[in-house]
Structure 1
């Protein structure tokens, strides 16, 4: 009996203690509880994750019209309220003999962040195709890591999952993933990814939907193709499911998810892709984070003319009437240029490869520099100054200004992207009677390059004008300083005459004539092949001011640097894409702001 009473008393005491403990926890003041939570949270506790959804064959402008129309209540439309996004993107320009379904060129660009001229992947072997130049036997073959390799190298505890219908892509370029899954179509892709988001803990999940590609090939990549629209509708629903699962994750408060939606290429109304036409290259890019403010990135394109050892343009200044630089002449030469890399990925030239100029003056490629040179006249000493320039795949503006002789000296200035990088006085008189042709291209440069505009001014440009002109294109006659232009060539389709001539915008001044060289000699092509002499291409505007403005065009090289930034991995300098999400890093501090408000 006594033993039973003892057990009863013990049970009562335990119950009382439990109640006291529960009451104590319940009665803790709210501000104390917040202090405890605040102390427990640190940046190291936050897990950053990425869901990358690629929609093969989604044309940016077509998706935009549908999202603003029949899918205005869908998941993608909802994402835009918390995204940095662009409907105006460009994939690579190329001519494919065979339209391979997974499009290895664009996938290689997206996964490495480097342009095709560097990664050299052209087919679904996903092996770099590299022809050794006999003239340069020491040229190195460079292989570029994928986003998966960057993540694994940084932290092998960060696991990655890749889910696509492309078996060769999965085994050839995505083989560094912790897990790959080759699916039979979009529905299976949805199922695998949903299960992973519910039960897995991958740092990066990459998936590819192919329904729009298949529908586009059959009936055109256009909104009038009902199958194409239906495929997008299904994908839109799947994306909504993904977002719902992410938001319901157990530890979502401690996770920051970047959801990226891309397309690797567009397509035309006839069901084709893989060429230079803008519609087949039109892509999209959406970078969603639940704490972003919305921003549509309204990038612009610009035309460039291709110049190479074989392709050049000349102005026949054989009387030295226009472009000679004697002691009584001053001018500023301004040109907008985009370089392309050598096979080893570098952008350097040889020695004294002329970009533009005459015998008496010019801009030359010397290794990693652009060297401005003014030849001496009547035995006086020449002037040559080099600055680092054109060492990436972006557009840049270069200006050489030379003043008149004044008390034995003249100004010699160079500006790059609107900033003066060289400013000195020189004693070189120059050559007034320079009867040679003004020439662009056709030199021995090991790389090709694009030029968008060439402008010649009648004076030495001041610092303010240089800064303003650095991001300026298509100067119109109504501009106040248009009257100061002595020559102005814009390499646009509407300035071409006779298939081979770029008209000078300044009346009475010389046009540029495109010619092709074969074995170092000018080739006179038959009339039906005149168009082979000039190649114009529409490219994203990547001038420095455009990038800084945030109004950029989506490019396949841009995905990797954003993901690396998000995962706090240093962006490799060899990557051609640039980081822009770092401009919106304040949005990532929402937890700190919430705690600040609660105090």
Structure 2
């Protein structure tokens, strides 16, 4: 590129960062009208700079950005897809035998680098190897970003500059791995690499914010904590300027990711499950993106298993079903993988139900069962990932020798058929969520199991009618039923499993007045989780999770087809492909 065109292009990119320009000049050699040169035939090359700030609390960074204390990140938002609401990976899924952390958090780092949750990758200590204490089952080593990218693009160069020796060994497949002694040294090394290097993936970890938070609290009132954030913000400006001044800058597309893997408490703790410790953020900057703040949502859910369960007494058989009754069962749930690193459950593991109807886990299928004057057993492949899903079973009115039943998953009809099963109208057994075994009153002697991988339920609703498809679709994305919902008069049971609803340490009240409450056997465990119901994902309004980083980087470097379905994280940047085509405009 000649000197004049290079100068024009650098000015344009600086304008994109510091003056929020949305229109870019195109070098004359590209626009046409000038003789064809070798420079005009250069192909565009993609790069990623991923900056992780260990211990940066999302809400603190947001506040400091908004008040102007972090001006570079503030300007980056004008060309970023970003999110301030976030939840780091839940340490409660892998706590037994976990050592206390005094350096990096290997659990969240492994989740970021693999794109799958901690219970699946099973890494929880500084060895960065999976937990092998799971009987005789073989443990699978989860692939990292390094392996995904190398498999797709073997010649692509990668670099890691980090103060964490253990982490650096974990990403040892990169061509360049440097252990730095301070954030200042990390920035110095990065500037040198970015100035003339050709690493297409550069990972940089910063520890100053974490160290300051440990000694004085993870709050902006801690001057050392805020100063550490300001150092990185200033450094980001220097790194972006270095990228913009590269010789072939016009032919390079750089995605800059700024993230935190975990937060911390005001009194200096991290690595736990409190809200401040899980408070994270994400910024995904590209000079040609329009600004979009992802308004992610997090909510609470209760954990259920063989030993964690709750019952709702039903002595009047309100929730029974027979010839004269209709019944719809609707539940928002999220599965977790077993210790064998699979979402497949045991055979006939109980999820929710009562004497004559229920939902079970049977390997990779959710089985719906109704007995009485015949038996209905219908299964759908469901809940085989780390996301939230909606399950629905509707039993319509008797018609002739049978009745129509409807099975929906995430608001979409899966089955609509006739069955002779009527259920039992005077079934006065309790409604149960959780608990591994269930003895059917009709003498069913299937292979039930007392083991049940933990799963989470956010809401459960029962209706005395079979809902219409459009109503099922609407409800699939709702945690609470609106007062003006069309079918609300038919609602006979609504439970929202959240600590805000909990009464007397063990009771989740029924939101339908006068109807039975759920009572837990032991005090329930509630966990905050990101809303990943299908309509929330489709909206683009995500909450930040550790699992979100790997899909975006793999997409950017290798294309959307390279984002494996095995990843728990959702690839949202692929929705903005049109904004990446600025050279064609």
Counterpart check, 1:429 vs 2:425: no
Q: Go from structure 1 to structure 2 and tell me whether the alpha carbon gap of 1:590 and 1:124 turns closer, same or farther (over 3 Å shift).
A: same
Provide the rounded CA distance (Å) in 2 between the counterparts of 1:260 and 1:60: 14
Q: Give the structure 2 partner of residue 576 of structure 1.
A: 568
* Cα deviations by residue, 1:523-577 (Å, 9 ceiling, x for unpaired): xxxxxxxxx5311111000000111111100100110000010012511222111
Match of 1:501 among 491, 507, 512: 507
Shift of 1:92: 1.5
Deviation at 1:495, TM superposition (A): 1.5
Q: Does 1:475 align with 2:468?
A: no
C-alpha contact (below 8 Å) 2:99/2:125 kept by paired residues: no
Pair 1:119-2:121 in alignment: yes
Report the equivalent of 2:492.
Answer: 486
Partner of 1:36: 36
- Does structure 1 residue 359 correspond to structure 2 residue 355? yes
Secondary structure of residue in 2 paired with 1:52: strand
Pick closer, same or farther for the CA change 1:190–1:359 going to 2, 3 Å.
Answer: same
Give the 5 Å matches for 1:316-327: 316-317=313-314, 319-327=315-323
Q: CA deviation at 1:159?
A: 0.8
The residue number in structure 2 matching 1:161 is 159
8 Å CA contact 2:91–2:107 kept in 1: the answer is no
CA RMSD of aligned residues (A): 1.9
Distance 1:351 1:78, change over 3 A: same
Helix, strand or coil at the partner of 2:186: helix
Q: Report the 3-state secondary structure (helix = DSSP H, G, I; strand = E; otherwise coil) of the residue aligned with 1:495.
A: coil
Question: CA offsets per residue over residues 398-428 of structure 1, 9 Å max, x none?
Answer: 1100012122221200111110111012122
Show CA shifts across 1:442-465 (max 9, x none): 113541100000011121111111
Does residue 290 of structure 2 align to residue 293 of structure 1?
yes
Question: Please, what TM-score do these two structures have when normalized by structure 1?
Answer: 0.87
Which one has a bigger Cα radius of gyration?
1
The aligned residue for residue 95 of structure 2 is none
Number of residue pairs matched by the alignment: 538
Maintained 8 Å contact 1:365/1:445? no
1:336 is paired with a residue of what secondary structure?
A: strand
Matches within 5 A, 1:392-541: 392-443=385-436, 444-477=450-483, 479=485, 481-515=487-521, 532-541=522-531
List 4+ stretches of structure 1 deviating above 6 A.
28-31
**CA deviation string 1:265-292 (max 9, x = no partner):** 0111111111111111000100000100
Q: Which residue of 1 aligns with 2:90?
A: 93
Secondary structure, counterpart of 1:497 in structure 2:
coil
Structure 2 segments unaligned to the other structure (5+ residues): 1-27, 93-97, 437-449
1:142 corresponding residue in structure 2:
140
- For residue 577 of structure 2, the aligned residue among 582, 585, 596 is 585
Q: Does the 8 A contact of 1:349 with 1:445 survive in 2? A: no
Q: Please state if 1:549 is matched with 2:539.
A: yes
With normalisation by structure 2, the TM-score equals 0.89
Q: Determine if contact 1:418/1:468 at 8 Å carries over to the other structure.
A: yes
Separation in structure 2 between the aligned mates of residue 328 and residue 184 of structure 1, nearest angstrom: 74
What SS does the aligned partner of 1:142 have? coil
- Any stretches of 5+ residues in structure 1 without a counterpart? 1-27, 516-531, 594-599
Indicate the SS of the match to 1:236. Answer: helix
SS for the counterpart of 2:161 is strand
Q: 1:559 aligns with which of 549, 557, 573?
A: 549
After TM superposition, give the deviation of residue 190 of structure 1 in Å: 0.4
Once the two structures are superposed, the pairs formed by residues 261-300 of structure 1 within 5 Å of their partners are 261-300=258-297
